């Protein structure tokens, strides 16, 4: 009996410990097909219809992943509930066996302590004597079995509780994953809506906006080689005023585009700037941005209209793989732009998007680090 019970417990633990089948072969094939389509679209000529198809495929892929994650969370919920019932049953069984063993221990001690001649004395004959000896042996064997069952129940009770905690941890991790995937999906839907709104669903407008973004990048590249050296500046020195130079070819309104390059490669300005709470115009609300030691080039309060990286508007920057290469900001207090750190100041004016003129300042901070300030007055 106790062997069958042990096998049953082992099967229960094995079944519950099996890895979660988060994805089926069919879902894997769907994900692979969507990833292939996205890769093919990224290699095609940049058109509005291609961009819309790309975003739609990304939305489908993210939706599929969300459904898969939700299914895995639901499966874990069922397993955790089943484990809770198993733990409760084991707890009752453990209590009963512990109580039974406690009652039997004194009796077993008495049997072991009784002198052998007592068995002989109270036996009616040899057959009765043999029967009594067999009975004592059977009782002792049952005590051993009961002790083993108690130990096995204790082990499985502990294993079940440990397994339940593992599944709870898996579930918590999947819930965080689901939250990130849901946020990603919402961003992708927002990106599509912004794209359609900004382009008015027009291929001509789409190509015009791409050309304007590229023209700004080309103007910045020329500025690095054609700029006039102004001289050394210290942290906090005024270097320019926020403007809208480059409009309408390369600017949509007054703002400062701050860009930082390290060894001629774009890099996120946030790790250079000190931590500051800013108004988040891109996503709404406010957030803390920055983790470095540089001052911000504008005084409080600062509104960030577009961050570094992939944003709802960064589809324009095809030359950088859809990455906005700086931070766009304005100040509600002052238009003065100040040097965030020491360096050598340069100034340049470049044509941008036809007859528009964009004014650019930049500071060479040494060690391959240059900060750029675009659209200044």
**Mean confidence (pLDDT) of the chain:** 83
Do 175 and 259 share a domain, yes or no? no
Structural domain tally of the chain?
Answer: 2
Same domain, 283 and 176: no
207 domain residue, yes or no: no
Q: Per-residue pLDDT averaged across 323-346, rounded? A: 97
**Ramachandran region of residue 366, left (φ > 0), alpha (ψ -120 to 50) or beta?**
left
Over residues 76-103, the pLDDT tens digits come to 999 888 888 777 776 766 677 666 656 6
As given in the structure block, the two tokens for residue 38 are 């996205």
pLDDT exceeds 80 at position 337 = yes
Q: What is the mean pLDDT of residues 273-278?
A: 97
CATH code of 98's domain: 1.10.287
Does 118 share its domain with 253? no
H-helix or E-strand spanning residue 314: none
Are 126 and 74 found together in one domain?
yes
Query: Does residue 130 sit in the same domain as residue 242?
Result: no
d(CA 354, CA 263): 30
Specify whether 329 is located in the same domain as 190: no
Same domain, 261 and 193: no
User: Residue 269: inside a domain, yes or no?
Assistant: yes
Residue 206 included in any domain:
no
Task: Tell me what pLDDT residue 290 has.
Answer: 97
- String of b and e for 335-360 (b: at least 16 CB within 10 Å)? bebbbbbebebbbbbbbbbeebebbb
Given a contact cutoff of 8 angstroms between Cβ atoms, the answer to whether 44 and 50 are in contact is yes
Note whether residue 210 is domain-resident.
no
Q: Is residue 205 domain-resident?
A: no
On whether both 143 and 256 belong to a single domain, the answer is: no
- Cα 73 off chain centre by: 16
| Same domain, yes or no: 227 and 362 | yes
| Residue 16 vs residue 56, higher pLDDT | 56
Instruction: Answer whether residue 173 shows pLDDT above 80.
Output: yes
* Residue 108 within any structural domain of the chain: yes
Q: Which two tokens stand for residue 318?
A: 């095809």
Q: Is residue 103 part of a domain?
A: yes
User: Which structural domain, as residue segments, surrounds residue 31?
Assistant: 2-199
DSSP structural state of residue 111: H
Q: Does residue 222 share a domain with residue 185?
A: no
Q: Is residue 140 part of a domain?
A: yes
Q: Are residues 184 and 272 in the same domain?
A: no
DSSP 8-state class, residue 320: G
* Final residue before a domain boundary, out of 199, 227, 243: 199
| 8 and 53 housed in the same domain | yes
């Amino acid at each position: 009996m106790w062997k069958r019970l042990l096998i049953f417990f082992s099967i229960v633990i094995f079944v519950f410990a099996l890895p979660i089948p988060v994805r089926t072969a069919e879902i894997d094939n769907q994900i692979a097909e969507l990833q292939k389509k996205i890769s093919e679209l990224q290699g095609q000529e940049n058109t509005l219809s291609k961009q819309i198809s790309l975003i739609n495929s990304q939305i489908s892929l993210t939706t599929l992943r969300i459904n898969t994650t939700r299914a895995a969370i639901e499966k874990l919920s069922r397993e955790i509930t089943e484990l809770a019932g198993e733990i409760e049953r084991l707890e009752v069984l453990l209590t009963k066996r512990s109580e039974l063993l406690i009652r039997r221990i004194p009796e077993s001690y008495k049997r072991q302590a009784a002198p052998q001649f007592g068995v002989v004395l109270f036996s009616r004959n040899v057959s009765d004597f043999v029967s009594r000896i067999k009975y004592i042996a059977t009782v002792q064997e049952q005590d051993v079995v009961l002790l083993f069952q108690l130990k096995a129940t204790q082990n499985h009770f502990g294993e079940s509780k440990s397994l339940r905690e593992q599944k709870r941890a898996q579930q918590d991790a999947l819930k965080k994953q689901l939250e990130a995937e849901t946020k990603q999906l919402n961003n992708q839907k927002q990106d599509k809506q912004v794209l359609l709104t900004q382009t008015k669903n027009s291929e001509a407008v789409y190509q015009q906006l791409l050309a304007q973004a590229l023209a700004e990048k080309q103007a910045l590249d020329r500025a690095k080689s054609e700029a006039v050296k102004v001289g050394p500046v210290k942290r906090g020195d005024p270097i320019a005023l926020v403007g809208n130079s480059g409009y309408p070819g390369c600017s949509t309104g007054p703002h400062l585009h701050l860009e930082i390059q390290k060894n001629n490669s774009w890099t996120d300005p946030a790790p250079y700037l000190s931590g500051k709470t800013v108004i988040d115009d891109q996503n709404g609300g406010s957030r803390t941005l920055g983790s470095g030691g540089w001052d911000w080039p504008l005084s409080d309060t600062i509104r960030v209209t577009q961050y570094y990286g992939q944003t709802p508007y960064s589809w324009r920057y095809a030359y950088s793989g859809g990455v906005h290469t700086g931070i766009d900001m304005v100040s509600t207090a002052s238009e003065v732009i100040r040097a965030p750190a020491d360096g050598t100041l340069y100034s340049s004016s470049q044509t941008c998007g036809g007859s528009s003129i964009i004014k650019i300042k930049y500071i060479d901070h040494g060690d391959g680090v240059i900060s750029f300030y675009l659209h200044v007055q």
